[in-house]
Amino acid sequence: MSATEKNKSSKFNAVAFYTGKNDKAHVSFVHEANRWFSSMADKYDFTYDSTNNWNNMNDEFLSKYQVVIFLDTRPDSSFQRDAFKKYMENGGGWMGFHFCAFALTPSAYPQNWEWYHNLFLGSGQYAGNTWAPTAAVLRVEERKHPSTKNLPETFTASPNEWYKLEKDIRKNPDIKILVSVDSTSFPLGTGPKLHEIWHSGYYPMVWTNINYKMLYINMGHNIIDYANKTNKELSFTFNNEIQDKLVIDGLFWLGTGKKSRK
């Protein structure tokens, strides 16, 4: 079957954008995600492509796809950002992982995109993280959403560096929180820095903006053996049955369904 014939027979077409540089933990996740999504595409009959050319973030290229995935970073140029915003406002689907929500001024990824960080994601800037990467017990807060309806009340997620973001999205009427850190996870993180160990608090990890077909998932940071300087991969994000179910059900909702409702 040709690529064109495959696209016509598929349930939907998805494309992942990634940068895949610098942080080895994020690079590991990018490579793992590309392998996993490709295998899921074969299993569930959708089309999966990936690209590290962010100039493909344009109207013509995006028109071929029902779902866009950000595996690590986000678009930086104004024309790329405008094309993505237009795609989402015209009903496109989006799934973003972990680092794509990162923004910190000053840094290599400053908060210079008001629509994306404050309106679309609703979370504002990065405000901290747990360290070292560890598994966490997560609580499903919304059982009726297509991405979470098949999940248990709580589940143990794969090891991850868990993000704390600036804004309290519980106060945002456009944001529907689907999954958060369960209190049984505390203390979360091992240090050695004390502020990177969480002992209490509320931390959303998966959410959607009801004005768009979108799903943000904080997972996406594998454990790398930095301590012994081997840079060996010590954990992976996928092949966690329940967490994988969240991702694949969310992907099918984005690819074939309608935007969330209040």
Reported confidence tier of residue 258, pLDDT bands at 50, 70, 90: confident
What is the pTM for the complete model shown? 0.95
SS (H, E, C) the chain: CCHHHHHHHCCCEEEEECCCCCCHHHHHHHHHHHHHHHHHHHHHCCEEEEECCHHHCCHHHHCCCCEEEECCCCCCCHHHHHHHHHHHHCCCEEEEEHHHHCCCCCCCCCCCCHHHHHHHCCCCCEEEECCCCEEEEEEECCCCCCCCCCCCCEEEEEEECCEEECCCHHHCCCEEEEEEECHHHCCECCCCCHHHCECCCCCEEEEEECCCEEEEECCCCCCECCCCCCCCECCCCCCCHHHHHHHHHHHHHHHHCCCCCC
Average pLDDT, rounded, for the chain: 95
pLDDT given for residue 22 in this prediction: 86
Give pLDDT tens digits for 97-139: 999 999 999 999 999 999 999 999 999 999 999 999 999 999 9
Domains with residue ranges and CATH for the chain: 3-256 (3.40.50.880)
- In angstroms, the CA 86 to CA 83 distance is 5
pLDDT given for residue 261 in this prediction: 46
- State what percent of residues in the chain have pLDDT above 90: 93
Reported confidence tier of residue 1, pLDDT bands at 50, 70, 90: very low
Look at residue 207 and tell me whether its pLDDT is greater than 50: yes
Mean pLDDT of 34-41: 98
Of 151 and 258, more confident: 151
Look at residue 4 and tell me whether its pLDDT is greater than 60: no
